[in-house]
Structure 1
Amino acid sequence: MSLESFLNTHEKLMRLSRDQLFGDAERSLKLQRIVKACARLLNVSRASIWQLSPQGNELFCEAIFCSEQQEMLTNNTLRENQFPRYFEAMRTERMINANEARTDARTIEFTDAYLKPNNIYSLLDLPIFNGTQLNGILCLEQTELREWDMETMAIATSVADLISLMNLNESWQESQMQIDSLKRRDPLTMLENLDTFQKRIEQDLRRSLAEDKHQLVMMGIDGFRSINDKYGYDTANQVLVAFANILRHACKLGFYSPGRMSGDLFAIWMPEADHEDALDLIQEIQSEIKQPLILQGGKEQIEITFTSSITQLPVPGYMGATPYRCAEYALYRAKRDTKGSVMLFQPEWAAQLNESRTQDQILIDALRNGHIFPFYQPITSAESGDIVGIEALVRWVHPGGSINKPCHFLPRLNELGLMPELGRKVLEKSLVDFKDIRLKHKNLKWVSVNVSGEHLSASDFIQHIQKELGKRQLSSEQLRLEIVEELLAEHNPMLQNNIRLLNHANLKLSIDDFGTGYSSLSRLKQLPISNLKIDQSFVKGLTTSHEDQCISSSVLGLARGMGMTVTAEGVETVSQLDWLKTAGCQLIQGYFVAKPMPKEELLVWLENRSSTFQPTN
C-alpha cells in the first residue's frame, strides 16, 4: 500500500468511524456501517466486531459483513472451552496477525469449526476496550492467504481504538442516565421522589384546561414509628417497600403515578380523575393490605393500616406554588382526627395554607439572607479540659434578637427540599469562622459539621467540601462530618457511595447520637469513622441509671476495640464528668463546659477561659 493510498484510506475510515460511532444511531447500526466500510476500504473478505461476555469466556458477534455476498451475515458465538488457545492469546497479545490462520498456534483451533466452513485462510484480530477492560475484538478475515502489512494493521488498530472510545462514551452516558434516574427516584422503593412528583403535578396542571379536574391522594402508614422501634430499621424498610409495591400494582390500570414523599408518606397523582376514582383506588389498596405483610422470608407478619387524604386540583383560592401542601395538610388533619380515615380537602382550608405559605417565605428569606447560621459549642478533653474542637450547631436568629433552635425550623426546611442548600451554607460559614478563630487559638484542631441525608446524597457533595477546604487553605483533618446513625443503613446508592468516597478524600465521620438508632457493626468497620458520640439521653442518667451506664460502657468498649474516640454529649455535672473520665471517655461537650454561642462570643469566651474546667451556669 503506497503512502498516499494509506493516508487516503486512513482518513476515510477515521472520518466514517467518528461520524458513525458518536452519532445518534443505534449501536448495532453504527457497527454494521463500520464493518462494511472496513471490508471495502481495506479490501478484506469479511470484517466483524465481537463483544466479550462479562465473564470473559464467550465472544458474541455484534456485526459481520461479507464482501462477496455484500450483506450482513448471521451472528455467531465463540466459547473459551472450545478455543482456549485463542482466548489466551486474545488476553495477552496486542494483536493476532495470523497470516496462515489454519496453522498458526493461536488460531489453529478454529480450522475445522470456523475457518474451513467459511473458506478463511488469514485473520487479523485487534483488541477493543471499555476503559481499561478488554471488551471485544475487531476481526478482519481473508479467503486467500494474505500477509498483513503494517499499513493495514495501523488502520485497523485506529478503528479498534475508536470503537473503544465509543464503548467508553456509551458507558459514561449510561452512568449519567443511572445518576439522573437516581435523582428522580426514591432509592429504597424506586417510586418517584418528592421533587420529581411535584414537577409532574406542576407540568400536568400547566397543560390542563380550566375545566379539568385532577386528584392528589396522600397516604401515611399508621404507627410507623412503632414498627421501626419494635422490629428495627431493616424490617421497617421492608414494610415501606412492600407498601410501595402495593401502590405500584394498584396504579397500573389507571395509569396513575405513585411516589414516596418522605418517611412513611406516599402519594398518588391521578390526572383527569374525580373523587369517586380516588375513593375506589383507596379502597382497592385497603383491600390489598387486609392480609398481614409477610417479611424477612416469612419470619415476620406485620399488619398495617394507613390514613389518606384526597385533594382535588386545582384548589380555588390557594396561592402556593406547590399544591402538594394542600394534600399534606388534609392528611395531617385526618391523622389528628381518626387514624385509618379518608379526609377530603375542604376549600376553606386554602386561606390557612396561604398564611402558612407566608411563614415559609419568611423561613426561606432567613436562610438566604444569612439569618440562619451556626453557633459553636466547644468540645474538650475529658482528662485535661483543653479545648480540642468545636461543633457547628445551626440557629435561626431573628432581626429582633430572638433565637430559634433547629427543632423549630429544620423539619420544615426538609419538607421544602432546602436541606442541601442549608448544608452547603453551614459548611462554608463554619470553615470561614474556624479559620478566623484559629488565627488567635492555634490549639483548636477541628470543626465538626452536621450533615443531613439530603445533603450527603448530593452528587457534588465531596467536590464541594474539597473546594471549600482548598479555598480556606484548610486540611481534611481540620473538618469532621457528623451524621446520625440511621444514615449508615439508608438504602440510597448516592449517599452510600459518597460515604465510601469520604475515605479517599481523607475525610472522617463522627456518628451522632450513637446507640439511639440501628446500624451494623460491619458497616462501622468498613467506613471512615473516627468518633462515636454518646447521646445526651444516656449521659443524663449516668449517675442514677444502671441501664444508661451499661449502654455508655458498651459504646466506649466498642470504640476502644475499633480504634475510635468517643465524645459524650450533654455533660452538665461534675459527677457525669467523673464517671466518663473513669470509664475512659476522651471528649466531652455540654453546658458543663459551655453553651453553643456565635463566633464573636466564642472568641471572648476562649480569651477569658483558663486551661482547666470552668463549669457554666
Structure 2
Amino acid sequence: MSLINRRRHRPLAGFALLSLPAAAAWADTAVASGLRDPTLWLGAFCVVGALAMGATLGLVWQQRRWLRQRRAELVTARRERSRLAALLNAIPDAVYLKDASGAYEACNPAFERLIGLSEAQLQGKRDADLAEPLPERGRAWARGTDGVRLCLDMQQAPVRADGQALGLLGVARDMTELQLALDELKRAAMVFEHCAEGILLLDDQVRVVDANPAFFQISGLDSREVLGRLPQPLRPGEQAPDLQTQLTEALEREGKWCGELTLRRRDGEPVPVWATLVRVQPGSSSPLQHLLVLTDISKIKQTEAELLHQSLHDRLTGLPNLALLRDRVTRQISIAQRDHTCVAVLYIDLDGFRDVNDIAGHAAGDEVIKVTAERFINVVRASDSVARVGADEFVVVLSGLVDEETAMRLGDRLIQSMDEPIMVGAQRFNLGASIGLALFPTDGTTVDDLLRNAEAAMCRAKLSARNTVQAYRPELTLAVQQRFELTHALRLANEAAQFRIEYQPQVRLSDGELIGAEALLRWRHPTRGPISPAEFIPLAEDTGLIIPIGRWVLQEACAQAARWHGQPGKPQQIAVNVSARQLRQADFVETVDFILAETGCPPQALELEVTESLLLEDAEAAIALLTQLTERGVRVAIDDFGTGYSSLSYLKRMPVQTLKIDRSFVSELGIDSNVAAIARTVIVLARSLNLDVLAEGVETAEQAAWLRREGCDWAQGWFYGRAMPAEDFSFTPPPEPDRKPAVRRLQLA
C-alpha cells in the first residue's frame, strides 16, 4: 500500500483498536454462557452495531479528511500549473512539448507566434505537418510565417518519469539580432583588416589603441612605433598651425573633420593623405573615442599633376600650349608694366609643313614637329618661352630688356635653325619659317592683342616673302580681317552655289581651228561682286576648300563636255586645272572614274592640268598617279611649264601629252629676247619629247604669229576669245594675214 493509502486508513484503524476491549468482554461472556443467553445475542448485536457504527463513522471522518487534503493538493497543483504557465508565457523563447511519438502536446505563445499556429491547432501534429519544419538541434536559419528569415538556436531535452521516456522538451531561441550583429562585427573586422585605407582607433587622449595593416603599409612603421602614441599626422608641428586649429575646432563643433594631411614615412618621405577624424561614443568597457581614417592620395595627386601638365602642355612636344602661354604672357605683361620694359611675341608658322603630312603621312609630320621644337628651344634663352599653339605654329615670348631689333635678330636665328634639312627615316624635308613680331606696349596691351597682331604679321611674311620676319604694322590688321572675311565668304560660296564655270577657247595655230577649251572657275560674290581667282584660289588651297570645290568643277566640266560631244563648233576637249592637294587624295583616280561614268564624258575629252610643283614633291608617286590617268584615256598637261625648277630626268618619264607655256613668257615675246629664248627652248624640248605645246595668254596677232612660226601647236588667250559661260560659248577665228603652215624646228634659233 502506498504512503497516501496508509495515511487514508489510519483513522479507521484507531477506531478499531478502541473497540477491542468491549469486544473481548463480550467474547468471554459468550463463551461462558455457551451462547445460549439471548441477552448475549443482543449484546453481540450491540457490539457488532457499535463496531459497524464506529467503523462507519471512522470511514466518514477519514473520507472528509482525505477530501480536504485532496482539495488542498489540487489548489497547490493549480497554483503550480498557473505559475508554470505564467513562466512559460513570460519566456521570450519558444518552448514546446512533444510526446514519446513525436507529436506536439503543448507550447507557449512564443512558439505559437513562431509557427503561426495556436496550441490547440498544434496538438497532435508532427514536424512533417508544419509548413516550415524547424531544425531539431543547433543554430540554423528558418523562415517565419511572415516570410522573414530567422536564426534559431534549437535545444531539446528528454522528459522522463519513473525511468520512462514521456517525450521531449524543446526550446527555440531567436538569435537573429545577435547573429546579424556577429555577422556585422565579422564584416567590420574583415574591413578593418583588408581595407586599403589606414584606420587608427584612438582613445580619449588621441593615442593609438589599434591600427589596421593598411596603415602600417602606408606609413612604413611597425606597431611598437604606433600603439599608445599620438598619430604622426596629428603630432604638434607636423601640419601647418592654421590647419591644426581648423581640425581642432571642427572636431569640437561638429565631431568630425575631413581634409588633406601629410603623413611622414619612417624614411622621412612625405605622403599626402586624405584624413577623416571622427569622435565616437565610447562603450562601457571600450577606450575608443576617436576614429582616424587615412587614404593615400599620392597616386591621385600624381595623376592630377599629370592631367594638369597635359592640360597646359602640348602632348607631342611637351611645350606649353596656348592656355599656359596666355598665362605666361599675362604675367610678363604685369612685370613689364611694373618695370617699364617690353614683351616681344614671335608668331612662327612652318613653310611647307602641309606637304610633309600629305606626302609622308602624319607620323612623319609628328617627327618633324618634334625636331623643330628642339631646334627652337636651343635658340632661345632659358628665360624665354616657346609654345606650340597649332599644328605647325609656335610662339616665342621674350621679356625684359628687349626691343624690335633684338626680337628681329632672334627671329632670324629661329629661321636659320631650319636651314638644316630634317631627316625622317630615308626621307629628307626642307622647311622654312615665316615669323610675325608684335611688341608690348606699342603693338598691343593685352594677350589677345599681341597674339592677334603677331599672327597678322606672320601672315604678311607668309604671303609676301616666306622665310622672313615681319614686324607688325597697323595696316596688317585690316589685311588679316579681310582675309578672315574672305575665308568665311569662301565657305559660304561653296555651300550657296555662288561659283560658276566659264570656258576659254583653245585653238590650233596651224589652221585656227577650235580644238578645245579650258574650264575656268569664277566667283561672283552677292555684295562684293566678282572676286579674282588669283585672290581666292590660294586661299582655297590654304584652307583645304580646294578639294570640294575642285571636285565640283571637275564634275561640271565633264558634264558639259558630254553635252558638247559631237556638236560642230563646240569644244571636243575640256582642260581642267587640278591642284596638288586634290592629286594627293588617295581616292582621286576613283573620283575621276566615278565622274566620267556618271556624266557620260569620254575620257579622251578630258585633259587634267597639273603644276610643276607636283614633280618636285614626289616624282615617283606623281608618275604612278598620272600613269593610271593616261591608261584610262585622260590627257595630262603640265601647266605653267618653265616657271618652276623642272627636272628633265623625270619629265621624260612623265606620262604627259602637253606642255603649257606660261602667260608671263608669252606677254613679253618681242620685248625681251631672253624670254623669247626660253619660250623657244620649251617648244624645242616638247618637240624632242613628242609632246604638244600650248601657249597661254595670247593677246595679239604678233604673239600668235611668233608662236606659229616657232612651231607651237596650240594657243589660248583674249586674241582668240575671252572665257564665257557654256550657254554663250561661240568661236570665230580671228584674221591672221600671215598664217602659214607651222615649221617644226629641233634647234635653237
Q: TM-score, normalised by structure 1?
A: 0.50
Q: Over alpha carbons, which structure has the higher Rg?
A: 2
Q: TM-score, normalised by structure 2?
A: 0.42
